[in-house]
Amino acid sequence: MTGGPAGPGPYNGCVPRGATRIVPLGGLGEVGKNMTVVECDDGLVIIDAGLAFPRDEHLGVDLLLPEFTYLREREADIRAVVLTHGHEDHVGALPYLLREIAVPEIWATRLTLGLVKSKLDEHGLLRAAELIEIEPEEGAVQVGPYRAEFVRMAHSIPDAVAVVLETPGGRIVHTGDYKIDHTPVDGFRTDVGRLAEIGNRGVDLLLGDSTNAERPGVTPSERTVGDAFRQIVPLLEGRVLIASFASNVHRMQQAIDVAAETGRKICPIGRSLRKNLNIAKSLGYVDVPENLVVRPGDLAELAPEETMILCTGSQGEPLSALVRIAYGDHQNVQVQEGDTVIISAKPVPGNELKVHDTINRLAKGGAEVLHQEIAPVHVSGHGNSEELRMILGLLRPRCVMPVHGEYRMLSAHARLARDAGVPARQIVLAENGSVVELSDGAASIVDRAPAGVAFVDGLEIGDLKDVVLRDRRHLAEDGVVIVIATIGSQNGREIAAPEVIARGLTDPEPVLGEARDEALRVLEKCVADNIGELKLIQEHLHDAVGQLIHARTGRRPMILPVVLEI
C-alpha cells in the first residue's frame, strides 16, 4: 500500500496532460470537514465542502473548516462544487468557501439544495453561485471539465448520491456516505444495478467511505428504528422525548408516524430541527399532518400520554434543547417523573462525556433514558465491512483510496480492498494535503499541497495565530474581568459570595461592586431555576456581567466566568 506523501516541497500545481490529480483537503484521518479536489489541466471540481465541530480544547472556536489556501491559489481554475448529501460535515463549510472564493456552479440533489439554499440565504449568499439540481436518473451531464454521473445511495439523510467522473486520468467513483439498505424509509435503495453497470465499464479509482470499515457484518436497516419505536412507545404512559440529529429526516418521519398511530401530538424543539423539518416537508420528503403538530407553549395543555417531543441535543451540546431540558433551563419543557427520553443517535467521538452527563441529569430528574447501548433505537448511516466488500465487488476498481474516516478506519478499508484482490501498490493511504495522481490505470502520491484547519469564531475565519492575536488585542483594548463563583456540588447552592477581579479597566472599583451584585443575582436565579450545569451557569454569568459593564463603561472587556464546585 502506498504510504505518506512523497517529497517535502510545496505542491507546484502542474497537472500533466492525460493525468488527474486528487487532493483531499479534509476528511482523511478525521471524521468531519470533508472536501476533495479533482483536478486536471482544464480545471478542477470540488466534491463536498464540510465542517467539523470543535472539542473542549478548542476554546473560543465555533467551527472547524478545511484550509482554503490551495483553492485560493487556484480560484480561476474552479469550475464547480458537487455535494454528495446534506450533512454538515459535507456542506457546512460552503458559505465560508463562497465568502472567500468565487465558485461558478453548485451541484446537489433536491433536498440537499433545499438545505443549502436556507444556509446560503442566512449568510446573504443565495446568488453567489448558480445552483443546479442533480437528477440521478437522467444520466451523464457535463460538470466543469468532466462528464459526470450520479448514483443514488442510501444514507441517514435522503437524496445522497455517489459521484462518477470521467477524467483524463481515468474513471473515478466517489461513493459519498452510504449503506446498503434494502428497506429504506423513502424507498430509494442504493442503486446496486447502476454500480454494477459502472463496474462493467471499468473503474480506475474508487474513493470509498471508510467510517464503519472496522465493524463486521452489515448495518441494520433504518426501518429497524421505526420498529423499535412501535414496540416501545405504545407501552409508555408518560411523555416521550426523542433526540436525534436535526438532519435525520428518516428518523423524524418514523417518530411522526408512531406518534400518529399512538394518539400523540408532536412538538419539534430546536431551531435547526424545526428548520430542517419545514424544508423537508415543503419539498415532500416528510409527511406531517397539520393537526399533529403543537407549539412548545401548548404542551402544558396536553396530557403526558398525548405528548411526543422531537428535539436536538443527542450529542450533549451545552445550549441544545435536550440539555436545557435536562438542566431545567428550557422555558417550556422541564424533565419530570414518568418521562421517557430516547436518544436516537450515537455520540460522535469526543462527545461521550457530554452525553453521559446529560443522561445522568435526565435520570436524576425522574426520566427513563433509552439509548443504543440498551435498546435498538439507533442505527448507523454508514455501511459495515460486508457492505464495503459489496461495493468493491460491484465496482472492481483498479485502484482504491479510502476516504472519510480516522486513520484506523482508512487502514481497515485498505485491508478490505487488498482482500478483494486490489494490488497493495494500487491502494493509496493518503492524508489531508496528499496529491494523488491517477494516470494509465495507476494511482500514487506524488506531492503535497497545503492543507490544515481554519477556525471560525462567529463570522471570522482564521488560523490559530489569528485567534491568539485577536484575544491579545481584545485584552489590550478592553481588559479582562474574571468572575469567580463557588457552589456546592451536592445542592448547587452558592457557598461564598462571588468574587470579581478586573485587569486593564480604568477606575474599576465603582463598577466592580455592581458586577458582584449582578453575579450574585444570576447565581440565585440559577439556584431558584434548578440550573446546575456548569457551562450554562457560566453562560448566564458571562452575559449578565458583560452587559452591565458595557452599560456602565461603554467597553467590552473579555469576561471569564469561573464556577467552582466544592
- CA atoms of 50 and 246, how far apart (whole Å): 16
Of 28, 20, 14, the C-alpha closest to 409 is 28
What nine digits make up the cell of 536? 450554562
Q: Which residues contact 151 (CB under 8 A, 6 or more apart)?
A: 136, 161, 162, 164, 191, 194, 195, 198
Dihedrals phi, psi of 488, to nearest 5 degrees:
-80, 135
Active site residues: 209, 382
Of 6, 449, 447, 444, the C-alpha closest to 205 is 444
End-to-end CA distance of the chain: 54
Dihedrals phi, psi of 105, to nearest 5 degrees:
-135, 145
What nine digits make up the cell of 449? 499541497
Q: Are strands 240-243 and 340-343 parallel, antiparallel or unpaired?
A: parallel
- CA atoms of 280 and 274, how far apart (whole Å): 10
Of 450, 442, 436, the C-alpha closest to 4 is 436
CA–chain centroid gap for 45, Å, is 22
The answer to whether 161 and 109 have CB atoms below 8 angstroms apart is yes
- CA atoms of 253 and 286, how far apart (whole Å): 6
| Sequential DSSP letters for 312-358 | S-TT--TTSHHHHHHTT--SS----TT-EEEE-SPPPTT-HHHHHHH
Q: What angle do CA 469, 470, 476 make, to 5 degrees?
A: 90
- CA atoms of 560 and 483, how far apart (whole Å): 6
Q: How many CB atoms lie within 10 A of CB 327?
A: 26
Angular region, 404: left φ>0, alpha ψ -120 to 50, beta rest: left
Block residue for cell numbers 476554546:
59
- CA atoms of 441 and 429, how far apart (whole Å): 17
For residue 254, what are the β-bridge partners? none
Q: Which amino acid is at 88?
A: E
Block residue for cell numbers 418521562:
339
What secondary structure letter does DSSP report for 222?
A: T
CA–chain centroid gap for 8, Å, is 32
The CB-side HSE value for 531 (13 A sphere, CA atoms) comes to: 23
- CA atoms of 104 and 102, how far apart (whole Å): 7
Block residue for cell numbers 467521538:
349
Burial status of residue 187 (CB atoms within 10 A of its CB: 0-12, 13-18, 19 or more): exposed
Q: How many CB atoms lie within 10 A of CB 22?
A: 27
